Amino acid sequence: MYFDSHAHLDDARFQPDFDDILARMRENGVTGMMNIGCDLPSSERSVALAERYDWIWAAVGSHPDDAAQVDEARIEEYRALCEDPRVKAIGEIGLDYHYEDPPRDVQQRAFRMQMKLAQELSLPVVIHEREAHEDGMRIISDFPDVTGVFHCFSGSYEMAKELVKRGWYIGFTGVVTFKNARKAVEVAEKIPLDRILIETDCPYMAPEPFRGCRNDPSLVPFVAKKIAALRGISAEAAAAATAETASRLFRI
């Protein structure tokens, strides 16, 4: 019933109790998941995980933190991984200016190279964008045929409206359940329901009342319940709508 559109279940922190997490996911109705790559090793693990479980799909790509490793050879490695039918997106890619390491120009080059790959392969993208709204919008504007999701969205409602107008989707993590999450709440209340994805970004961003703990996909229903409460619909309706949206975006 619930689809976690952005998880890192390949992370080593899940290995000690991996089977227990899968059991909790089943108990909580989490029946689909996208496992997202951040660099080449995690992308390879994501594909392996998706091949092992028929309800998991994969995205491959380099997070801004890994931008310095993105060159033509790395792009060809990602292109080869995309030949696997379990790979449904390029990601997570984008910009993160919080620490500016790697430098902005290096991040932008890697972002553009991976957007070009998505364009060539007709795949959606999973965008990580932090404190780089203007440059992020400028770069995606250069690739009008590519759409996808801005995961863990941190922008304004005006930015979200513009993204939706261009055919993009907005991903919400446990942050939307935090008391100080005013921008995320406004966006989740106002944008069309069929443009919303729910996600954990596990092991990060655990929702209330688990904030500060290790997150895992069994907790994605808490995000759906918050979306439901904001929009005056049932949790079941929010779950069904966001799962259908994930299936549509990722062509599952």
- DSSP letters for the chain: -EEEEEE-TTSGGGGGGHHHHHHHHHHTTEEEEEEE-SSHHHHHHHHHHHHH-TTEEEEE---GGGGGG-SHHHHHHHHHHTTSTTEEEEEEEEEE-SS--S-HHHHHHHHHHHHHHHHHHT--EEEEEES-HHHHHHHHHT-TT--EEESS--S-HHHHHHHHHTT-EEEE-GGGGSTT-HHHHHHHHHS-GGGEEE---BTS-PPTTSTTSPP-GGGHHHHHHHHHHHHT--HHHHHHHHHHHHHHHHT-
pLDDT on residue 237:
97
For residue 81, the number of C-alpha atoms closer than 13 Å in the C-beta half-sphere is 34
What are the pLDDT tens digits along the chain (252 aa)?
999 999 999 999 999 999 999 999 999 999 999 999 999 999 999 999 999 999 999 999 999 999 999 999 999 999 999 999 999 999 999 999 999 889 999 999 999 999 999 999 999 999 999 999 999 999 999 999 999 999 999 999 999 999 999 999 999 999 999 999 999 999 999 999 999 999 999 999 999 999 999 999 999 999 999 999 999 999 999 999 999 999 999 999
- DSSP letters for 3-68: EEEEE-TTSGGGGGGHHHHHHHHHHTTEEEEEEE-SSHHHHHHHHHHHHH-TTEEEEE---GGGGG
Claim: this prediction has a pTM higher than 0.95: yes
- In the numeric block, the tokens 């932090």 are attached to 130
Question: What's the alpha-carbon Rg for the chain, to the nearest Å?
Answer: 17
pLDDT on residue 172:
98
- d(CA 75, CA 114) in angstroms, rounded, equals 7
- d(CA 128, CA 119) in angstroms, rounded, equals 18
Q: In what side-by-side order are the strands of the sheet with 30-36? A: 2-7, 30-36, 56-60, 87-96, 125-130, 148-150, 169-172, 196-198
- In the numeric block, the tokens 């939706």 are attached to 164
- d(CA 193, CA 95) in angstroms, rounded, equals 26
* Spatial CB neighbours of 200, under 8 Å, sequence gap ≥ 6: 4, 6, 7, 173, 174, 206, 215, 216, 217, 219, 220, 223
Number of other CB atoms surrounding residue 248 within 10 Å: 12
